[in-house]
Structure 1
């Protein structure tokens, strides 16, 4: 059945493509955060281990919300590691960095997700796609706050 929500198929496709990039960033950040949760060591182990767990749990819920919005727009949600690796602005981290480096890498990842989300606003504004704009706003709030909290753990 055709989708008639007041946004053309071409515009819905462009938004879905942008959301697919956001989904890719979010999933790669989820994997990185989960990896760091498992492998963090040092005097801040417990604090970081628990904080990273909270963050990857939040990211797991976020990927579902983003994928469901792509589906609501009428397009398949990507779900492969290959797609995510190709479309994410966040790169994998090789090896096991120090706890401080983990924090820095996660700040970079959180901010990358914000930039990807922010880049979709011109199109969502143009076509009055408030549901997507709302999702983007919510994601940006979470990622900006998380980046701030992580940054606060670093030496000044």
Structure 2
């Protein structure tokens, strides 16, 4: 990550080198949130079958929740005097969640893939929280706990929805 342009520096009492590592982790989380948001919307638009309505609505709810935290992540990065994502290309260079461009994905595969992706996102959030704690950035550490909880709930709902019998 390059140094922050002078006119983008914001006041903070946190060590800028420490916040740089936190910002790097948050930017990966942000890229993964955008990737997961788009995948969830993709599945929302393309789900079919006997559980269409339930899955369609659940995927939409989950996509809305994921998109809802993106602004908080970006703003948290800026509050620590760092910079965040700038483009789709920037997202693609940082994301760890793999896109799904297949023409058809079965509903069972959708549920499983989104569950696994939410679990990956939890790991990314935990890494960001650890870095924040090392940097004495309690505000970031605290807010990341909420994002972990939300992703755990999404993974749980996807798991329970996929259960048979």
Bucket of the pairwise TM-score, normalised by the shorter protein = over 0.9
| 2-structure distance, mates of 1:79, 1:99 | 33
Structure 1's consecutive aligned runs of 4 or more residues displaced over 4 angstroms after TM superposition are 1-4
TM-score (norm 2): 0.89
Partner of 1:147: 155
Q: Deviations over 1:53-100 (max 9, x none)?
A: 101111111111101111111122203221212211100112120001
Aligned residues: 156
| 1-structure distance, mates of 2:124, 2:31 | 10
The one of 103, 106, 109 equivalent to 1:98 is 106
Is this contact kept in 1: 2:12–2:79, CA < 8 A? no
Matches of residues 1-156 of structure 1 in structure 2 within 5 Å?
3-95=10-102, 96-156=104-164
Stretches of structure 1 that go unaligned for 5 or more consecutive residues are none
Q: Give the CA RMSD over aligned residues.
A: 1.4
TM-score (norm 1): 0.94
SS across alignment from 1:31: helix
Stretches of structure 2 that go unaligned for 5 or more consecutive residues are 1-6
